[in-house]
Amino acid sequence: MAKAAKKRTAAKSAASSRKQPKPRKAREKGNRTTVRSGTKQSGAIDMLRSRSGATIAALTKTTGWQPHSVRGFLAGVVRKRLKLELESAVIDGVRTYRITGEHGTAPVETKPDSRKS
């Protein structure tokens, strides 16, 4: 014998079909994208802005993140959210990443961390 299918109540199906409004993105509002100073993210961006750039190993050691998290940070935050130009090159057999320009649509601004006293 097959089990009888459970019926959904009207309240559950109505609540799940309502769509939540999506927040506007910062670039649509014209806001500046900011990075607090003194954070792991700001430290990694400072390393990437240096003339020599940074390797995955150096970023991993500085931030304490796993290598896959560093790669995700480079793709998701540096390239997509902050819209920075990230250059990758192999130097002496080691891949090095470097921010080459500030050509993003939303300017990046560093603000002091107000939580630390």
Task: Encode pLDDT of 15-58 as tens digits.
Answer: 566 677 666 554 455 555 677 888 999 999 999 999 999 999 99
The answer to whether the beta carbons of residues 44 and 63 sit under 8 Å apart is yes
Burial class of residue 110 in the structure, from the number of CB atoms within 10 Å of its CB (0-12 exposed, 13-18 middle, 19+ buried): middle
Distance CA 20, CA 18 (A): 7
pLDDT confidence tier of residue 105, bands split at 50, 70 and 90 = very low
Residue 91 belongs to some domain of the structure: yes
How high is the pLDDT of residue 106? Answer: 42
How high is the pLDDT of residue 49? Answer: 95
pLDDT tops 80 at residue 114: no
CB within 8 Å of 112: residues ≥ 6 apart: 36, 37, 38
Find the largest Cα–Cα distance for the chain. 71
pTM, two decimal places: 0.60
Instruction: Give me the amino acid identity at 85.
Output: E
Residue 10 belongs to some domain of the structure: no
Distance CA 99, CA 43 (A): 13
Distance CA 47, CA 59 (A): 8
Residue 71 belongs to some domain of the structure: yes
Report the CATH number at residue 43.
Answer: 1.10.10.10
pLDDT (mean) for 101-113? 54
| Count of structural domains within the chain | 1
Residue 51 belongs to some domain of the structure: yes
Residue 115 belongs to some domain of the structure: no
Task: List the domain range (segments joined by +) for residue 56.
Answer: 30-102
